[in-house]
Structure 1
Amino acid sequence: MPRADAARNRSLVIDAAAAELAEHGLDVSIARIAVRAGVAKGTVFNHFASKEDLVAAIFCGQLATLTATGETLLGHPSPYQALLEFMTAGTELQVSDRSFCEAATTTSRNHPAVRAASDHLADIAEKLTARARHAGAIRDDITGRDIVLLLSAPTSIATPVAGTRPDLWRRYLHLILDALRPETAHPLPVAAPTTQDFTSASSG
């Protein structure tokens, strides 16, 4: 197959997979993805050895998009507003894509590319969090890993009424950010998760 055709087919598969995963979650079949892409099922496997590899490619793209947003926000004049916009972008991604949160908690985290992309996102989240800490906008014991984990909280909280109140997650995102302010902070009972915690969880 000519290189241009192969590249086109790969792009079709990725676009179709991203759309199917966003709409239906990780249970979507390769056969359904192939139909949406307009290619044979075997073509999918010509580009991705397994469904896990395909999911990993999609998830890495999502992480890269959020990471790029975070990198841009490092130049924002308000550290607190930068953190809010980063968390808003992360939550919006989960609202629009069913597979994002699912992929973050499955064995796809064992995939080397996913782990590398996740670590890069955590690094950017830590830089954004450090700016907010140093500005006195959030409490001193909040880490970037805390922020990454909190990204899934607003949508999880609002899930029971998401059908009738699709924007309710915004209320809880702002409540979470308010809770991170230092004015009424009390000591937390346990330490923040570390990179080693995530590595051990992925390999366990």
Structure 2
Amino acid sequence: MDAKDADTRGHSTRVAHYAGFLARAVGLSPDWVEAVELGGLLHDAGKIGLDDFLLRGVNQLGPEEWDLVRQHPETGRAIFANLEELAFLLPALECHHERYDGTGYPRGLSGRQIPMLARIMAVADAFDAMTSERRYRRRTMGFEEARDEIAAEGGGQFDPELARLFARHATPELLEEARALTREPRRPAGPEEAVVIPDTRQMLVSA
């Protein structure tokens, strides 16, 4: 999915990283942390069948086109429905765009009706969207602004306890770690490239 849409390249990997972080903050077992991370990797699989213009023009879509985009959680569930080993993830894949206040989609669930894994993925998904460059957004939020936005949406878009935990425990390093995971590796030097100048910015991030 990330390869299909340049705006979301690396998005699923970063969402998995943030979701795993929040799952650990909640105190979930290692097995469930791994499950949440897998959900982060697969959460947008349902977008694979959408036309490119639907993915790249989200600020210019009409009601009927938005309806198509909003089908992707159910499509994602359907993609994996016959895989018994992923049965435990299906509700989370379907519900990651539900909102705690009941105004989300596809089913309009609210509060604890929304599976815990989906509530975690919702925070992770939104945080990455806020802090990543998108053609349809005027600007990208910095760490502090995005963290504060997550906290402010507790009880609205997000589970208030999860929003509080994320805001309390997240650090700028979390954002840098996720970006490092999806940074394209440097091209290996060819035989004609005898001198290589180190990328000091990369070294600083890795330090």
TM-score bucket of the superposed structures, by smaller chain: 0.3 to 0.5
**TM-score, normalisation: structure 1:** 0.32
**TM-score, normalisation: structure 2:** 0.32
